[in-house]
Structure 1
């Protein structure tokens, strides 16, 4: 009954988003919580399925594509040193924190190290949406968060490749992993600089309906496919496509036409899909593990990434806001958890607890950003 499920998702997310706004929180928080309520954990109206998964993938790709369209490229370049510091701090602290928690829980060295690596992941799709709602997506802080997320993705994937090559029977060539990453960034650099403007100009003159928007979507999904094929998260490719198109005269028309498509249909499905992985069955015995690991997951990103921002010129509140923007582990950590389970780097009995922690970090991010950015005036509180 796909049509009924979509009806429930669209209606429920709009109602939940409105309630969240009336309670003084970003709409995205209500949409994330309603996914848990209508999912298997509570009412069971919506079940995980391949079609829901695929639609949610489109949703997160479009979400990051729009974030790319609205990104200030000049600010992104100016804050590259801050992005590097934020990414490095946001990996070292969670890696150590997760490793120590794993040892305390009695995990082996390899399993504890994998837990640390999993906590090092960052997915800023939820942060990007929250910052957009708060009117900070074009700020210096936002540019730093988005830049750090790209680097974080690279470093975590490389770390995963090293770990799997050393600790499992799988043959993973670190050189091949790095080479594929290099190909990706060289390719999107050249395509974004030369090919994207030419393609947008070429196809904009076609007389078929919505030629500009259709061309933009083709580029978005091509960049996402290219990223995933070369071992980089698809959302990074979509973000890169948005940044490239933002440098053309078609930025505004693409943004105006894509947003209704994304936010009316695909993005709500993505928000709900996050909650579908939640299950309260058998969680009682691991409650303290979940609570403790969630606290470590939040604090290590908040402090690690925040310290990186502080050391590169941001004031305290701005630095903490940047740290908060890196807290959500989202779909990136879910993918790493699935890989770890298959490679026997994550025990089956801890899998549900880890998924719960990942989702909790995602739920915590919107109100945390709201609190830290509510009094922040970026033009006054950051050192330019």
Structure 2
């Protein structure tokens, strides 16, 4: 049964979150997602008890997660991340997966399925969460931003593939066959997207761009829903379809005029970040099992351990295998950004809870550690980048003084 009051509270929290982030920015830069999740916890059943998700809210929340992954796929510029950077990012993730599965087996006492849930969660990167931070700091378009995109994309895409192969409940060979079939259909879609657009396509986009027609936005939404339906038809996680839809959308819009492509993306981001994505994060807070975490014992003890493991399992291999042209501080910042996680941790722990292979306390500890990673790791990375920028400025001024 749908309860409009819950959706009203969620949207009120979504409006309040940026105001709190703006006010806090005078003292410390806190990612917006932290306020969204925190407000969700406050209005959720473990604090005030005002909001409880229903079928409508859950559907919108899942769509918000899909939009987050869709935009992460859209941001990937394969021309910039291919070659050595892509190979290094894939190698780092494979090392993370092996390390995560090993640690998972140790922590779960050899319980394979639980180890798969834990190990896969430790390898994820919240690229969709990191992207706004990179964009706001001005790092997204430089060399450092390109490397973060490459390593973050693999950290987003790799766990989705692992979920499809290892956590689907099917035999690995069956899952692999379905993945190959999905990849083949997606490859055909990529070939279609690479073909030149007919003149009428660009003309209709331009004529409806600022009208009620909004052909381009409707076309993108059709593409997203089609890829979600395709992944569901193959029995795969819909996040795989969302990521593929983002990649396809970039290819499709590459043939449009730059101004039109920018306007289309702006409209899509307005829908995503203005409604669906904050709704997902607020609902994440509402569904967070705060009682299991603060009751003490195992769950509370595991939270700092999981936080350290995110940095060890994901961040350390990234720092070691980062491109050689990055400076030491850039490697450290890259490790912190890639160890930042949340959306996929929520998705993976949800699977673990549904399959009854992990406890609600362990899931709360994982999600809680992921929340702390979103709060702490990007702030440390921003501080490293700011310190490096200040040092470069002082060096340039010193060089200028010596020349003068």
Does TM-score exceed 0.5, indicating one fold? yes
Mapped pair 1:84 → 2:87: no
Note if contact 1:56-1:269 (Cα within 8 Å) is conserved in structure 2: yes
Distance 1:138 1:300, change over 3 A: same
State how far apart, in whole Å, the 2-side matches of 1:23 and 1:228 are.
Answer: 45
1:4 to 3, 8, 28: 8
1:236 to 219, 243, 253: 243
Mapped pair 1:30 → 2:32: no
Aligned to 1:328: 340
State how far apart, in whole Å, the 2-side matches of 1:197 and 1:372 are.
Answer: 47
Aligned to 1:47: 52
Aligned to 2:159: 156
1:267 to 264, 269, 277: 277
Moved more, 3-12 or 295-304: 3-12
State how far apart, in whole Å, the 2-side matches of 1:14 and 1:160 are.
Answer: 33
- Give 1:303 shift: 0.8
- Give 1:126 shift: 0.8
Moved more, 346-355 or 332-341: 346-355
Q: Secondary structure at the residue paired with 1:25?
A: coil
Distance 1:268 1:215, change over 3 A: same
Note if contact 2:155-2:338 (Cα within 8 Å) is conserved in structure 1: no
State how far apart, in whole Å, the 2-side matches of 1:343 and 1:6 are.
Answer: 28
State how far apart, in whole Å, the 2-side matches of 1:351 and 1:92 are.
Answer: 21
Note if contact 1:55-1:266 (Cα within 8 Å) is conserved in structure 2: yes
Note if contact 2:67-2:272 (Cα within 8 Å) is conserved in structure 1: yes
State how far apart, in whole Å, the 2-side matches of 1:97 and 1:347 are.
Answer: 18
Q: Secondary structure at the residue paired with 1:281?
A: helix
2:320 to 307, 310, 313: 307
- Give 1:213 shift: 2.8
Q: Secondary structure at the residue paired with 1:314?
A: coil
- Give 1:110 shift: 5.0
Q: Secondary structure at the residue paired with 2:348?
A: helix
Mapped pair 1:247 → 2:254: yes
Mapped pair 1:102 → 2:105: no
State how far apart, in whole Å, the 2-side matches of 1:187 and 1:375 are.
Answer: 46
Which residues in structure 2 correspond to 1:1-384 (within 5 Å)? 1-2=5-6, 4-28=8-32, 29-67=34-72, 71-77=76-82, 79-103=85-109, 108=111, 111-153=114-156, 155-160=158-163, 163=166, 170-172=170-172, 173-183=174-184, 185-194=186-195, 200-201=201-202, 203-204=204-205, 209-227=213-231, 229-230=233-234, 231=236, 233=239, 234-248=241-255, 249=257, 250-283=260-293, 284-286=296-298, 287-310=300-323, 312-347=324-359, 350-375=362-387
State how far apart, in whole Å, the 2-side matches of 1:290 and 1:307 are.
Answer: 25
- Give 1:210 shift: 2.2
State how far apart, in whole Å, the 1-side matches of 2:184 and 2:199 are.
Answer: 21
Query: TM-score normalized by structure 1?
Result: 0.80
- Give 1:150 shift: 4.2
State how far apart, in whole Å, the 2-side matches of 1:59 and 1:44 are.
Answer: 23
Unmatched 5+ residue regions in structure 1? none
Q: Secondary structure at the residue paired with 1:99?
A: helix
Which has the larger Rg? 2
State how far apart, in whole Å, the 1-side matches of 2:374 and 2:207 are.
Answer: 42
Aligned residue pairs total 372
Query: TM-score normalized by structure 2?
Result: 0.77
Note if contact 2:125-2:340 (Cα within 8 Å) is conserved in structure 1: yes
CA RMSD of aligned residues (A): 3.4
State how far apart, in whole Å, the 2-side matches of 1:3 and 1:114 are.
Answer: 31
